[in-house]
Structure 1
Amino acid sequence: MPNTFTDTPESSDHGYDRPSKSQVKREMLALLDLGKQLVDLSPERLKQLPLAEKLYDAVRLAQRTTSREGRRRQIHFVGKLMRDADAEAIRAQMDIWENGSREQTLAMHRLETLRDLLLRDDDALTGLLNEYPGADAQRLRTLIREGRKEAQANERLQAGQDPQRKHYRALFQALKSLDDTEQA
């Protein structure tokens, strides 16, 4: 009697024409993780995503659920609803938000470094004014001078006294507004 499994042309690939059980499970867990990330988002961010109404409502319910087990079950339901959602579009938007915050952090670090350089080096202001010709040079000079005085006063503080940072912060804000004006 002939064996139907060995006589078919599919026997070379063991008769599998769909993803393995393990692969399906990995995909479901990835969707569950994405659903957990959705539950952690603010309602404003959630509205910006391409979510079906049923999925949106399920995520909002999970956000409002306070019991641990109820929240876990609701998150699993969100994961189940994610099977019908456009997961790639959701991931792409969330990636943009995450990378945008990285870019903002890098910009803030660059401005902090520039502020520290201005407080240390007199020639740095000349370079800054060359880069931003429309900048208020007098205001920047005043902020730098007051920031230096503030730093000297902070060095003389006793242990436990709070340092003053008013002009230090004002200089940062002035640099930030210069940078924002340049980008606009």
Structure 2
Amino acid sequence: MKRDMNALQELGEALIPLDRKYLIGLELPETLFNALIEAKRLTAHGAVARHKQYIGKLMRQVDPAPIQALLDSLAGNSDRHNAWLHQLERQRDKLLTDAKAVETLINDHPDLDVQQLRQLIRNALKEREQQKPPKAFRELFQLLKTLYPEPPLIDPREEK
């Protein structure tokens, strides 16, 4: 039982450095949310330690699964997050080798800056040919990340 409580406290401690937007997305109880915000303000060692214990106590009232899923996603440890990144990499490779894929992307995203896309593809191919650092290759990946945002977190209980 004590091991479980310590695990919840550690999970709560991992939430402290997170940005406010992630905490809001978790829909935490108001007391826990306020305690996490307050923990960012504290500096005295003893006060921080007591406050972490308080957060651990409040964590007992919360389902830890969505919190752990968010932390795993932010750390890049989730299978879903890795699958999303691999999908973007395959899309980028397809853009570099298949002209039809470029046209499909342009048709699917009419607000896309076509000139920028074509220039990134041209520069990425040129970098590969000249064996230069893959600057445009990476920029193309970042562009795809904006076009295809990561799917929202799914509650693990709903997957079953």
TM-score of the two chains, using structure 2 as the length reference: 0.59
Matches of 1:144 and 1:106, distance apart in 2: 23
1:46-61 aligned at under 5 Å gives the runs: 46-48=23-25, 49-53=27-31, 55-61=32-38
Conserved? CA contact 2:11–2:68, under 8 Å: no
Larger relative contact order (C-alpha < 8 A, sep ≥ 6)? 2
Contact residue 132 and residue 178 of structure 1 kept, 8 A: no
The alignment-based identity, stated in percent, is: 32
Rounded Cα–Cα distance in structure 1 between residues aligned with 2:22 and 2:147: 29
Question: How many residues get paired?
Answer: 139
- Pairing of 1:68-107 with structure 2 (within 5 A): 68-83=45-60, 85=61, 87-88=62-63, 91-98=64-71, 102=78, 103-107=80-84
Structure 1 residues 68 and 151, CA gap change in structure 2 (3 angstroms): same
Q: Structure 2 unaligned segments of length 5 or more: list them.
A: 150-160
Give the Cα–Cα distance (whole angstroms) in 2 for the partners of residues 172 and 73 of structure 1.
44
Please tell me the residue identity of whatever aligns with 2:12.
G
Q: Name the amino acid aligned to 2:128.
A: A
In the alignment, which of 88, 94, 99 is matched to residue 111 of structure 1? Answer: 88
CA distance in 2 between partners of 1:97 and 1:178 (Å): 21
Match of 2:20 in 1: 43
> 1:33 Cα deviation (Å)?
2.2
Change in CA separation of 1:50 and 1:133 when aligned onto 2, cut-off 3 Å: closer
Name the counterpart of 1:172.
Answer: 141
Deviation at 1:125, TM superposition (A): 3.4
Structure 1 residues 77, 93: CA separation in 2 closer, same or farther (over 3 Å shift)?
A: same
Alignment of 1:84-163 (within 5 A): 85=61, 87-88=62-63, 91-98=64-71, 102=78, 103-119=80-96, 121=97, 124-126=98-100, 128=101, 134=107, 143-153=120-130, 155=131, 163=133
Using the TM superposition, give the Cα deviation of residue 130 of structure 1 relative to its aligned residue in structure 2, in angstroms.
Answer: 8.6
> Which residue of the partner structure matches residue 11 of structure 2?
34
Structure 1 residues 115 and 81 mapped into 2: Cα distance closer, same or farther (>3 Å)?
A: closer
What's the RMSD between the two structures over aligned residues? 3.6
SS in 2 for 1:134: helix
Contact persistence 1:143–1:171 (CA under 8 A): yes
C-alpha distance in 2 between matches for 1:59 and 1:177? 30
